[in-house]
Structure formats: structure tokens, C-alpha cells
Chains A and B, each alone.
Chain A
């Protein structure tokens, strides 16, 4: 079992729709959860992070965390073609140093 799993996609959604990206993780000791966006040929860019169960909203983005189910998701409302990218889920745990485990990413395609 991979430590952090994401569906590779592509996830195709029409412009204006809600895109839902999912991520599961195996380590129950995980404490921090990050979503990064990566455009083709570019480096990962932080979108948002979440530490506590529930929802966290930032503009058009909402992160949802369910530690009991070991599941974290990212919702993108009013999707735009400029949101087309690969979205990376990263999971961190306390102790030692700040090590993040990354999923392989989900490619999102928003079509006009």
C-alpha cells in the first residue's frame, strides 16, 4: 500500500463546475495535510494546508479532512481553465523533522 494515494486522473470537469480531488494516507500518526498545485514544467505551489478534522475554506478552495477515515480532499469551486494542473497531496507527521510524503498527484483538466 502506498503511503499517500491519489487517483492519477485526468479528472475532466467543465468550466464553472466543482472539481473534487481526493487523497488517502496510511499513517494514522499524520498530523498535517497539504495541497500543492503543479503546472506542467513548473514547481509545486502551495494552495492550502489543514491540520484539524473538518473543512477549511480559502477563496474558491476548500480542504476537507477526516482523520478517522484517513482521507483528505480538495474542492475547487467555479473551476477555471487556469486551474488545469496536477494537484499534489502531501502528508506530514510530527517527530524528528518535518518530513512530507507526497502522492503522485491528480491531473485536473477544466474545459471551456
Chain B
């Protein structure tokens, strides 16, 4: 699976949009971009995923660049409960059971 690079930490003011970047310059054509977050002492929670089109759901929006070498997760109105570590993962669609390899993630701190 392709490696991802994320900033180790970010701050965001409550109520503002949080934009979390992820670089995946070696992504291959059939790899999807997934985002998860992990709130302290809990298991990772799925947020959103996409292949090449931008995606939006009730939690967030995912913007993928045209060359697919980077993406941005957008939390439109961050709340204190969005404080967590956010992981960007790219993964193959293979027979190995859909391996997930976690990088360091971005520790997002939402401040009042």
C-alpha cells in the first residue's frame, strides 16, 4: 500500500472549518483514500473514503486532487468532540483481506 504523509498536529478554533491535508504521491490507480479518526482510548472510527471524485457525507468532505497525489479532509464546523487523531490511509483492493497500514496521523486539537 502507498505511504501517506500528514502533519503531526494541527489546531482549529471551534466552529471553524478544519482542513487536514494528506500527501500520497505514490498512490496507484486502484488505491482508495480512506480517512479514520481515533478519539482518545477508543478504536478508530471510519469517516469517509474516495477514489478520485470529491466525496461528502454527514461527517466530512474529502477533496482529492486531480493527480490523486494528495487529499484534504474537511470538517466544516469543528466542535470540541472532533479533537482526535486523524489517519489518512490508502489501500489496495486485493485478496489479502484489505490490509490497513496506519501512519502517524494528525493530532487535531479543537479549541474553544
A and B co-occur in one complex: no
A residues near B, CB below 8 A?
none
